[in-house]
Each structure stands twice: as structure tokens, then as C-alpha cells.
């Protein structure tokens, strides 16, 4: 399946994340490139099941909204190389969650990072190159969790390697990773126009977040402790959310709204 995953690790197969009836690419139908790492290093079965469920929900939402998609698995070098060679050949780019971004990609710490997992620097660098191609082509871009962080790094921003007090953002040892988190969506932001301004309860499970916001981007939402929970470009359709709208334990309202807005921009 991948060059990176040892034989005794959990493995996510593409067939496990595909919707039952994906739409074929066709004229007049928006086509979205979906960038995700299905098999990052040290993948455990509980996390693999999250990858399966979240990816399947995101692809099903695109299909239900009338879009076709190309799945780019950045854990497969040949798939990522092919996507980078094709550059921005889709109408929009959706980047899903996964493991941590290698600190070397954003000038982070040289030594070990607390609670680090799933780091694959080659996949990160290839993903950043693909994101920049879509940005340069002025195509709509939506990043979720790791995807939002990659969007920030692609714009020259940095990442907070490990949040000191994680309690608002993820479960502790022996607890479920994902929890309900209250964030504040900033008035006047593009995100507010999509999901509404003010308090919003979202599903979160992260120990990293955007630190210095990338060039040309602005903050669109914050957690109650001030951690950045969303970024966006003020004049172009580039949005990144730290939370997981594709976690159906929190419902599908926000995923439907975000996917709908992405496809409207793509059209």
C-alpha cells in the first residue's frame, strides 16, 4: 500500500474510504482534488478507523453535493508525484487531516516534539508544493485540521508544535481523542459568511495549531484560550479550519456548508 507503513501497522485501503457511487468527472460538474495521507507512520488501528470514517464522510459530502473528485494519497509517493506533475488540474483543492507536519518544513524545533506522531517529511514537502500550485492558479482551497496547518505553512506561517494545555482541544490519556469544543468565529470573516459568526461548537482533536499566521492570511476563528481555530485569505477563496466538520459525531451541518461554499467558489 505504501513505502512508509511497516508490515505490522494498521493500513487504510482506498476502497474503505470511497463512497458507494462516486461521480465521474464531466463537463459542467465541479471536480475537486482531495489531498490526504491515508497511511502515515506509526498508524494505530483506532486512528486508522478515524482516517477511514473522516475521509469517507468528506468524499461522500462532495458526491452528495454533485462534485466529482480525485483522491491524492500523499503517503504514496507515486500518487503525489503524479498530482504534482499535473499541478492544478482540478477546480478546487480539499486537504484533509492526518499526522503532524515535520518541524523542518516550518522552521520548528530541531529536537523531539512532545506528543508528536505520524510525521512524514517527504509527504509534507510534496503536499506543500501541490497546495502552492493551487494557490498560484487561484483555485479555491479548503484545509481541515492538518490541511489548515499545511495551508498556513505554504504561505510562510509557522505551527505551534504542542499546545501546553490541551484540555479544550483534545481528550487526555485514556480518554477519547475527539471532543466538543466551543470556538468564536470572527464577525466579517469569510468563515462567518459560511457557518455564522460568534460561538460555534465544533469537533476537535489536535495538539498542534497555527502559530504565526502565513503571509496574506488572517485569523477567522479562535478557541476560548486564544488558539487559532481557522484562517483564511481576505480576498481569495482560501479557508483553513482546525476543527473536524467531517466528524459525524458532531453532525454534518458544518461539513455541508463548507463543501457547498467550496463548490460554489469552484463553479
Closest CA to 41 of 121, 105, 128: 121
Q: Is 246 a catalytic residue?
A: yes
- Strand pairing class (209-210; 159-160): antiparallel
- Strand pairing class (92-95; 179-185): unpaired
Q: What pLDDT, in 10s, does the model give residues 136-149? A: 999 999 999 999 99
Pick the catalytic residue: 105, 145, 169, 206? Answer: 145
Distance from the first to the final alpha carbon of the chain? 34
Q: Global pTM?
A: 0.95
Alpha-carbon distance of 36 to 19, in angstroms, equals 15
Alpha-carbon distance of 9 to 147, in angstroms, equals 23
Closest CA to 98 of 53, 51, 131, 143: 51
Residues in CB range of 117: below 8 A, 6 or more apart: 42, 99, 100
Grid cell for residue 164: 501546553
Pick the catalytic residue: 181, 229, 232, 246? Answer: 246
Can you give the pLDDT of all 267 residues of the chain as single tens digits? Answer: 333 444 457 899 999 999 999 999 999 999 999 999 999 998 999 999 999 999 999 999 999 999 999 999 999 999 999 999 999 999 999 999 999 999 999 999 988 898 899 999 999 999 999 999 999 999 999 999 999 999 999 999 999 999 998 888 988 888 888 999 999 999 999 999 999 999 999 999 999 999 999 999 999 999 999 999 999 999 999 999 999 999 999 999 999 999 999 999 999
Residue ranges of domains in the chain, CATH in brackets: 14-266 (3.40.50.880)
Grid cell for residue 142: 479548503
Q: Is 145 a catalytic residue?
A: yes
Q: What pLDDT, in 10s, does the model give residues 151-204? A: 999 999 999 999 998 888 988 888 888 999 999 999 999 999 999 999 999 999
Q: Is 232 a catalytic residue?
A: no
Pick the catalytic residue: 4, 169, 207, 244? Answer: 244
Amino acid at each position: 500500500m505504501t513505502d512508509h507503513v511497516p508490515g505490522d501497522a494498521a493500513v487504510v485501503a482506498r476502497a474503505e474510504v470511497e463512497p458507494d457511487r462516486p461521480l465521474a468527472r464531466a463537463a459542467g460538474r465541479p471536480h475537486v482534488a482531495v489531498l490526504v495521507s491515508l497511511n502515515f507512520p506509526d498508524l494505530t488501528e483506532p486512528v486508522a478507523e478515524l482516517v477511514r470514517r473522516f475521509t469517507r464522510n468528506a468524499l461522500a459530502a462532495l458526491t452528495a453535493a454533485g462534485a466529482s473528485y480525485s483522491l491524492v494519497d500523499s503517503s504514496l509517493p507515486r500518487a503525489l508525484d503524479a498530482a504534482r506533475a499535473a499541478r492544478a488540474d482540478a477546480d478546487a483543492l480539499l486537504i484533509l487531516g492526518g499526522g503532524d507536519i515535520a518541524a523542518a518544513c516550518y522552521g520548528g524545533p530541531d529536537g523531539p516534539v512532545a506528543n508528536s506522531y505520524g510525521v512524514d517529511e517527504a509527504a509534507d514537502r510534496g503536499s506543500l508544493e501541490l497546495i502552492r500550485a493551487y494557490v498560484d492558479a487561484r483555485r479555491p482551497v479548503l484545509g481541515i485540521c492538518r490541511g489548515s496547518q499545511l495551508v498556513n505553512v505554504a504561505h510562510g506561517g509557522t505551527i505551534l508544535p504542542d499546545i501546553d494545555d490541551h484540555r479544550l482541544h483534545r481528550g487526555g490519556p485514556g480518554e477519547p481523542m475527539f471532543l466538543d469544543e466551543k470556538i468564536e468565529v470572527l464577525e466579517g470573516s469569510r468563515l462567518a459568511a459560511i457557518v455564522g459568526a460568534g460561538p460555534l461548537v465544533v469537533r476537535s482533536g489536535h495538539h498542534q495549531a497555527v502559530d504565526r499566521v502565513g503571509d496574506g492570511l488572517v485569523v477567522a476563528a479562535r478557541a476560548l484560550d486564544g488558539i487559532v481555530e481557522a484562517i483564511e485569505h481576505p480576498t481569495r477563496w482560501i479557508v483553513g479550519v482546525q476543527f473536524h466538520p467531517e466528524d459525524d459525531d458532531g453532525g454534518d451541518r458544518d461539513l455541508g456548508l463548507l463543501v457547498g461554499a467550496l463548490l460554489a467558489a469552484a463553479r
